[in-house]
Amino acid sequence: MIDANGLVRRFGPLVAVDRVNLAVGAGEAVALFGPNGAGKSTLLRMLATLLQPDAGTLAWFGRSGHGGRRDARRRLGLLSHQSFLYPDLTPAQNLAFYARLYGVEDPQRRAAEWLRRVGVAGWGQRPLRTLSRGREQGCALARALIHGPEMILLDEPFTGLDRGGVDMLIDVLRDFVERGSSLILSTHDVELGLAVCQRAVVLRRGRKVWDGIVGGAARAEFDEAYARIFATAPGNSHA
């Protein structure tokens, strides 16, 4: 569903993503691991069509270029640590707005359904500003899924969520993958990432240093590799 080859993105002199290859198929759930500054967000923003790569090729659902990007925007969902929701509008207004923007039929009803699904139904008519971080993130999840995307990209979705919020998110995402859709999520929390995903990709300083299925016996192997990668990384005290 996404096919990236040799992706490079620089910010001025800094190489944020360095020759990364990544292919993700239908029904696959991939966790991107790595410390802050490893290039996770940059990679995700490129996959989400928000950032143009400086080099490399990128195809969504078999199409690339301008047409591929336009098509991808319709079929992708994006959840960032920012909610993309207007604080002065109510959750219901926000969701209906995004539903309309994606051309979803009956936006009001769809918004109400999703508010129930993420457990914010009772708060639907207050300004978003007055909601807790967890509920706002719930609304943001609903916003990312309201147009029925085939793939969802999540950038540090667990940040600032309490236990209940994390459980709800994991629940929705597992359900999403079980229906044959795919997802890529970035996190620095290995446990949470692997609670949703079977495949792990590790980035370090913009490069992909590990990519594989993590389950059962492979888990120990991954943990060892992960520890080794970051133990030997100089200047990675913040990892």
Partner 1 sequence: MREILTLVRKDLDVEVRTKETLASLLLLGLLTLLVLSFAFDPTSAMRAEAAPGALWVAVTFAGVLALGRAFLIERENDCLEGLLASPVDRGNIYLAKTLSTFVLMAIAQLGIVPVFVLFFDVEPTPALVGVLAAVMLGVLGLAALGSLLAAIAVRTRAREVLLPLLMLPLIVPAFIAGVRATQDLLAGGSLAAAQPWLGSMLAIDVIFLVVGWLLFGAVVEE
Partner 2 sequence: MRRWFDTVHPGLTLVAMAAAIFFVFVYVPTDRDQGIIQRIFYFHVPLAMMTYLSVATVALGSAVYLWRRDRAWDRVAHGAAELGVLFCSLVLITGPIWGKPVWGTWWTWDARLTATLILWLIYAGYLLLRSVAPGEQGARYAAVLGLVGALDIPGINRAVYWLRTIHPAVIQNRDGSTGLADPRMQLAFVVCLIAFALLFAWLLWIRTENLRLQDSVEELRQRALHT
Report, in Å, the least distance between residue 149 CB and partner 1.
11
Q: How far is the CB of 13 from partner 1 (least distance, A)?
A: 17
C-alpha closest to that of 184 among 214, 159, 150, 207: 150
Q: Which is nearer to partner 2, 13 or 62 (CB)?
A: 13
CA neighbor of 104 nearest in space, from 80, 76, 74: 74
**The entry of partner 2, partner 1, none that residue 12 binds, CB within 5 to 8 Å by partner kind:** partner 2
221 binds partner 1, rule: CB under 8 A: no
The residue (of 74 and 116) whose beta carbon lies closer to partner 1 is: 74
Q: Which does 100 bind (CB under 5 to 8 A by kind): partner 2, partner 1, none?
A: partner 1
CB distance 141 to 90 below 8 Å: no
Q: How far is the CB of 48 from partner 1 (least distance, A)?
A: 5
Among 56, 68, 119, 127, binds partner 1 (CB under 8 A): 127
Residues 3-62 that bind partner 2 (CB under 8 A): 11-14
The one-letter amino acid at 20 = V
In the bound complex, what is the minimum distance in angstroms from residue 171's beta carbon to partner 1?
A: 23
Would you count residue 180 as binding partner 2 (CB under 8 A)?
Answer: no
- The three-point CA angle 238-173-19 to 5° equals 50
14: partner contacted, choices partner 1, partner 2, none (Cβ within 5-8 A by kind): partner 2
Decide which of partner 1, partner 2, none touches 82; Cβ closer than 5 to 8 Å per partner kind. partner 1
How many residues line the site for partner 2 (CB under 8 A)?
A: 6
- Give residues 195-234 in contact with partner 2 (rule: CB under 8 A): 205
Under the binding rule (CB under 8 A), the answer on residue 70 touching partner 1 is yes
84 binds, among partner 1, partner 2, none (CB under 5 to 8 A by kind): partner 1
Q: Which residues bind partner 1 (CB under 8 A)?
A: 45, 48-52, 70, 73-74, 76, 78, 80, 82-89, 93, 97-98, 100-103, 127, 143
